[in-house]
Structure 1
Amino acid sequence: MRFDPATPPEGTVRDWLDHRAETTGATVSHLFPGTAPSLTWAEVRDQARDIAGRLTGLGIPKGASVAVMLPNSRDGILCLFGVLYGGFRTTVINLAAGAEAIGYALSHSEASHVFVGAEQAALFESASAAHQVGARVIPVGTGIDWPADAVPAPLCDLGAGDDALLMYTSGTTGRPKGVVHSHASLLAGGWTTTLAHELTPADRALCVLPICHINGLCVTVMGPLVSGGSVAVCPRFSARSFWAQCAEAEATWFSIVPTIVSHLLHGDERPDAETRARIRFGRSASSALAPDIHRAFEDRFGVSLVETMGLTETAAQILSNPLDMAARKIGSPGKAYGDEVAILSRDLLPVPPGTEGEIAVRGPNVMRGYLKNEEATREALTGEGWLRTGDLGRMDADGYVFVTGRLKELIIKGGENIAPREVDEALYAHPDVVEAAAFARPCAQYGERVEAAVALRKGSAASEADLIALCHQRLGRFKSPDVVHFLEELPKGPSGKIQRRLLVEMTGGVAKIA
């Protein structure tokens, strides 16, 4: 067994927890600022092993789904690792998805048991009412309330190719799909992060994203497992508390999303000099980061921000900019680290640099497939092993990818393709725009027309005419929105990504994206 950060991880999560406990067991691995005592690697391993043994004693077969309905917390981390250690398929439930979607995930996964926090009990009942859920509840309050028959039993044998994680997509284009990762691909997700960001045992991440999302789980939880570092796990993101949490945790890096970047930029808090000096970098993922917002963040806070790109299907990261600011390219989520990325034609063949096509990836971090959905798996994975991302882009001669849009989100106006991202970036150039998203509205004259929704900072006097004029200046009249809707907050999924499909309905129409 090799534990070499320069190569894709071998073995299983169980192996890696054992390795950390046996080599650096007294080192703090997980902190919970203001909420709970910290954990060492030895404590995580020992408690994960106890949870795994008790689940085995309940008669749960290897590879069966065991769900976790817990927020970012000490118990959430322990239950996550306990299920993984036992050789079961960890099904992390998105608590913000709503009762119907949660009920679907619990039913579709065929979870035999589910850890349910005290504050999530009512949500579980509502989810069970929405779908037939056969999972047996294991309550979690001040610790785990084990049933009497949860007597520890010997663990099963476990291999790198065995199922480890089942995570449901946000369902932006229909029913959520259950993405299945093996122990190998799950660990590889932490490895690509370690590789790109040169993580070491001295690094400490700040996790403010939910671990029910692939970014929170793979980047800031699996990354430290592979690198030997540590992570401070916060219950949720708070713009008022963020920099104070960085200071308290003594974080050296953090992972956030563009909406958080924008909210921090428009807030009043700043990091103190000591905190700013300690932070090596922040990273942004989940959706495109507007260049104007990127530069403004770094100018204001003095913290380097690395734009990246990842998917649930790839255990998070597929692309990253280098840490070297002279080598990065603002406006691009970077180049491949640890995997292979290509731009494919409609015939699914790689195209030359500078040519637009579909972004595809292959490597050790790619999923096994979609649970009980062979058709979707065949559509996503080509015979040559490429995972089709559904994103459009081009690659330059240096291997940097530039995302131009999503296949299913293109606005087709009078036969011309308009990428919503272009309009988003034009709107973000206004200093008062906190959130922005363009979308298509059915139109008798052009087939579709461009509209947009924005959220402004409090007290802003910016008008619709101001924003449309800015778009005219940057994009020309044809690509600019005909209407700009003002909302207090734009709808977002669990990762913080703005959900364009909901904007048409929210602003009075029939959604284009089914």
Structure 2
Amino acid sequence: MTILRQTVGEVLRAQAAKHPDTEAYVYPEHGIRKTYKEFDAETDDLAKAFMGIGIEKGEHVAIWSDNKREWLLSQYATGKMGGVLVTVNTNYQAAELEYLLKQSDATTLVLGEEFKGTNYIDVLNEVVPELASAEKGSIASSKLPHLKRVIVMSENSYPGIYTWSEFAAFADWMTDTQLEERFNSMDPDDVINIQYTSGTTGFPKGVMLTHVNVVNNGRLVGDYMRLTEKDRLCIPVPLFHCFGCVLGTLAAVTHSTTMVLIEQFDPKKVLQMVQDEKCTGLHGVPTMFIAELNHPEYDTFDTSTLRTGIMAGSPCPIEVMKKVIDDMGASEITIAYGLTESSPVITQTSADDPIEKRVATVGKPHPDVEVKIIDPATGEQVKQGTPGELCTRGYLVMKGYYKNEEATRQAIDRDGWLHSGDIAVEDEDGYIAVTGRIKDMVIRGGENIYPREVEEFLYQHPAVQDVQVIGVPDEKYGEELMAWIILKDGQQLTAEELKGYCKGKISHHKIPKYVEFTDAYPMTASGKIQKFKLREQSVELSGKI
């Protein structure tokens, strides 16, 4: 494959020229439908507004909201005028927002009004009390010296903040010629996006991604899904995460595919959209697919138009994958694996892969992507079939962490290999299975246990809807296993019954010593289960058992 040397804006313009009348995006909740020709024109206007309000090439624009239309338009508008989009986690509270805006040197914040009970305007005023008396566009914050302007995705008026239409009117300050000059001045190797990692250890780090990184990754992901202008992809995953804005919008735009968007995930709304919009693709993390499949009204929806999609974000339970293929009808659904630092996808299963490979592995490396598996202790490459740390090299590797050279050196070695921190094993056919994080591996009495293997076994129990397995300290063995179980509606199960189910079927040392039942797991806003929080709860509980 040839690496595309195009900017995000060039990709959108090219697709709009090829398929002007194909629907680019649909927001069924709001009755909004726009073609590629209209989408291209809208984002040209918005690019001029970003320029008119004073944003220079390379300037950092933070965006904080759920999957609103303004988020989507801002992604492509900044891609046309060279602003760097800094994506903000929707779950952030005041301290996290302050940290991100300060560390990223954001000069501009575009935000929604609220998310799941959190009033974003109130949170912002807590961080920037100067807003109350600030002139719009001339904020002077003691905590955030770079922040100059705030734009709200609404027509409600707030002190110091531009309404959306006030912001959009700045387009009139710029000519088409000025936009073209800016558009043509961009280099595909320019950083276009800074995404902050979840921060499960220490403070979140800003991953710098270029046009080349995200355009090519999105295109390859779409190729693996066999997307065309006839496809309609439902995107319920957050846009602030790579899953939403690369595997979602860029995979779609590079193939003139229609995006069917939902502002906030709701399993019933997703099923309704798939049915009403005749979606051929559906994205989700495993917990989303589990919620859809287990919705009490699931059987009343027609998902027969589904063909493809991606399950990613965390390890995909084999039983769930089978149901998505057999019950939902997404016969060509693929598994993708990667990390934000690799734009994000490193490996992916293809539509042609046998079901066994699609449910038990994360596929093979993408074209133009190198992968090796090393012994974390020695750095030496391991033999096929031996677990080790997965490393990758190629166009997909980030530019680095923003203003954090030390962390960049720890992640990318001198030879350009990005170290994932994940344990992986390659089979005799070249397919890769990811068995967990290096730090998640449990060592019980000298035996290495990969929680994923135990989870996959426990998923097969008919009463189990979801399961997470972690290690807790143990005086005798060093570590023991604890299983956190979510039961299916109406099902009952005791810890002893679950252990009895395991006996004689998996090795004795892999049977969890502790079993806890729960209704939900601690999650990130992008749908990843926060195992470190589960581990904290487990350590506390196991000490009392």
Aligned-residue sequence identity (percent) comes to 30
* 1:404 aligns to 2:451 (yes or no): no
Change over 3 Å in CA distance of 1:36–1:65 after alignment to 2: farther
* 1:144 aligns to 2:164 (yes or no): yes
1:99-498 map, 5 Å: 99-119=94-114, 122-126=119-123, 129=126, 132-134=143-145, 135=147, 136-142=149-155, 144-146=164-166, 151-152=173-174, 154-155=178-179, 156=182, 157-270=185-298, 275-276=303-304, 278-304=305-331, 305-326=333-354, 329=357, 330-338=359-367, 339-346=369-376, 347-498=378-529
Q: Deviations over 1:146-183 (max 9, x none)?
A: 35877336242111011100111111122111111011
d(CA) in 2 for partners of 1:352, 1:403: 16
Letter aligned with residue 164 of structure 2: I
Letter aligned with residue 365 of structure 2: A
Query: Which stretch of the first structure deviates more once superposed, 238-247 or 170-179?
Result: 238-247
Change over 3 Å in CA distance of 1:104–1:384 after alignment to 2: same
Contact 1:412 1:448 (8 Å CA) reproduced: yes
Query: Which stretch of the first structure deviates more once superposed, 340-349 or 280-289?
Result: 340-349
d(CA) in 1 for partners of 2:34, 2:114: 23
Q: Deviations over 1:276-301 (max 9, x none)?
A: 1x222232111111223322443333
Contact 1:116 1:139 (8 Å CA) reproduced: yes
The structure with the greater share of residues assigned to helix is 2
d(CA) in 1 for partners of 2:393, 2:105: 29
Change over 3 Å in CA distance of 1:7–1:247 after alignment to 2: farther
Structure 1 residue aligned with 2:134: none
Q: Which has the larger radius of gyration?
A: 2
Contact 1:180 1:370 (8 Å CA) reproduced: yes
Structure 2 residue aligned with 1:3: none
Per the TM alignment, residue 210 of structure 1 is displaced from its structure 2 partner at its CA by: 0.6
Structure 2 residue aligned with 1:70: 65
Change over 3 Å in CA distance of 1:471–1:377 after alignment to 2: farther
SS of alignment partner, residue 391 of structure 1: strand
d(CA) in 2 for partners of 1:124, 1:413: 49
Q: Deviations over 1:379-400 (max 9, x none)?
A: 1112222211111111123220
SS of alignment partner, residue 379 of structure 2: coil
d(CA) in 1 for partners of 2:541, 2:60: 37
The alignment of Structure 1 onto Structure 2 pairs a total of residues equal to 506
Letter aligned with residue 432 of structure 1: A
SS of alignment partner, residue 179 of structure 1: strand
Per the TM alignment, residue 449 of structure 1 is displaced from its structure 2 partner at its CA by: 1.6
Per the TM alignment, residue 214 of structure 1 is displaced from its structure 2 partner at its CA by: 0.8
Q: Deviations over 1:292-311 (max 9, x none)?
A: 33224433333323222121
TM-score with structure 1 length normalisation?
Answer: 0.92
d(CA) in 2 for partners of 1:503, 1:326: 34
Per the TM alignment, residue 487 of structure 1 is displaced from its structure 2 partner at its CA by: 1.4
Contact 2:114 2:121 (8 Å CA) reproduced: no
SS of alignment partner, residue 90 of structure 1: strand
SS of alignment partner, residue 282 of structure 2: strand
| Moved beyond 6 Å, runs of 4+ | 271-274
d(CA) in 1 for partners of 2:17, 2:503: 61
Structure 1 unaligned spans of 5+:
1-5
d(CA) in 1 for partners of 2:53, 2:308: 44
Query: Which stretch of the first structure deviates more once superposed, 177-186 or 350-359?
Result: 350-359
d(CA) in 1 for partners of 2:348, 2:9: 28
Letter aligned with residue 139 of structure 1: V
Structure 2 unaligned spans of 5+:
129-142, 156-162
* 1:55 aligns to 2:50 (yes or no): yes
d(CA) in 2 for partners of 1:15, 1:119: 33
